[in-house]
Copies of this chain bind each other. A is one copy, B any other.
């Protein structure tokens, strides 16, 4: 790998983080490289910059493509595909979040709902089912919230984030104005 030190540090770190974020090291590095690049890169640029095999780059690009985190561009007088990363950091955060949700929470919800429908065979199962119910409820609340917030326009989301802990205050006011749904007690 032969990159300016600042860029190299970022690329390496993002690669390591990638593994924790469920995208593999190479994919993370490719993404990082495209994200900071000041021009579209083609596959061989990436091979050279990262020192990994051509085929590995090809797989990585394909994966980033299915996640819609990069764009394929054709430059005039060049048959090779060129790639750029989405500019907006929110797009990345959103994509990663959606992707993880699809892989990590949706299947769990499906299983939990299915288990809730079964007839418990004995006391142990009855108890277990009650616990599953509590968990299902919490996860459903969380995901349906996430669903709805994700549909808001970006600026609204940013407003919400800027508000920070201040939501509490706004919630109070909201409650007084009867904007909130009545609280169901457990």
A interface, CB within 8 angstroms of B: 4-7, 9-10, 13-14, 17, 20-22, 35-38, 89-90, 92-93, 103-104, 107-108, 111-112, 115, 118, 120-125, 127-129, 131-132, 134-135, 137-139, 141-142, 144-145, 147-149, 151-152, 155-156, 158-171, 173-175, 177, 179-181, 183
Residues of B within 8 A of A141 (CB): 158, 161-162
Q: A13-B107, A147-B164, A148-B166 are in contact. List 10 more A-B contacts (CB 8 A).
A: A5-B121, A6-B121, A90-B138, A92-B135, A141-B162, A145-B160, A145-B161, A155-B183, A156-B171, A162-B181
Task: Report Cα–Cα, A35/B149, bound state, in Å.
Answer: 30
